[in-house]
């Protein structure tokens, strides 16, 4: 049942950024989904950026809840998940859309997520993403 648990965790992760229909994005749930020492990496452009969990959450919480980015969601369009015992790796394509500063936009990219099984269930140990230009 591990794949189903990882699928659910991944869906919950993507859902943390959803503020469609005027709802408040629950970016703070990332603290529960990602291990406290988790590593988060955004590849360029313009540059490679490495975040702690808190460094990742704070600006996204503000952006998604201050009215600048509305009607936002992102979702997986395809994925491949490999599981070996208590570790798993997922490589997936995603799409996103929303309205930023009054301008509608759409985008897509690739995310890779590393999972570990903990006594409390599967958690994200690290994730990286690449937004296609």
Question: In this predicted model, what pLDDT tens digit does every residue of 25-50 receive, in sequence order?
Answer: 999 999 999 999 999 999 977 789 99
Predicted TM-score of the model (pTM): 0.93
Q: CA 12, CA 121: separation in Å to the nearest integer?
A: 14
- What tens digit of pLDDT does each residue of 61-99 get? 999 999 999 999 999 999 999 999 999 999 999 999 999
Q: CA 15, CA 64: separation in Å to the nearest integer?
A: 12
3-state helix, strand, coil in the chain (%, to 5): 30, 50, 20
Q: CA 97, CA 103: separation in Å to the nearest integer?
A: 11
- What tens digit of pLDDT does each residue of 53-68 get? 999 999 999 999 999 9
Of 62, 75, 109, 111, give the one whose Cα is nearest residue 91.
Answer: 111
In a 3-state reduction of DSSP, which class is residue 128? strand
The domain segmentation of the chain, as residue ranges, is 2-131
> Tell me, which fold does domain 2-131 have in CATH?
Nuclear Transport Factor 2; Chain: A, (3.10.450)
Of 12, 10, 20, 23, give the one whose Cα is nearest residue 98.
Answer: 20
Percentage above 70 pLDDT, the chain: 99
Torsion, Cα of 73, 114, 116, 25 (10° steps): -20
């Amino acid at each position: 049942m591990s794949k189903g648990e990882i699928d659910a965790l991944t869906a919950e992760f993507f859902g943390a950024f959803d503020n469609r229909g005027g709802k408040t994005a629950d970016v703070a749930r990332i603290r529960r989904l990602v291990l406290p020492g988790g590593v988060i990496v955004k590849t360029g452009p313009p540059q490679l950026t490495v975040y702690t969990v808190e460094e990742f959450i704070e600006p996204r919480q503000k952006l998604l809840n201050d009215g600048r980015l509305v009607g936002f969601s992102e979702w997986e369009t395809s994925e491949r998940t490999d599981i070996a015992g208590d570790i798993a790796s997922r490589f997936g394509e995603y799409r996103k859309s929303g309205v930023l500063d009054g301008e509608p936009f759409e985008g897509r990219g690739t995310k890779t997520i590393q999972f570990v099984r903990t006594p409390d269930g599967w958690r994200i140990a690290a994730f990286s993403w690449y937004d296609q230009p």
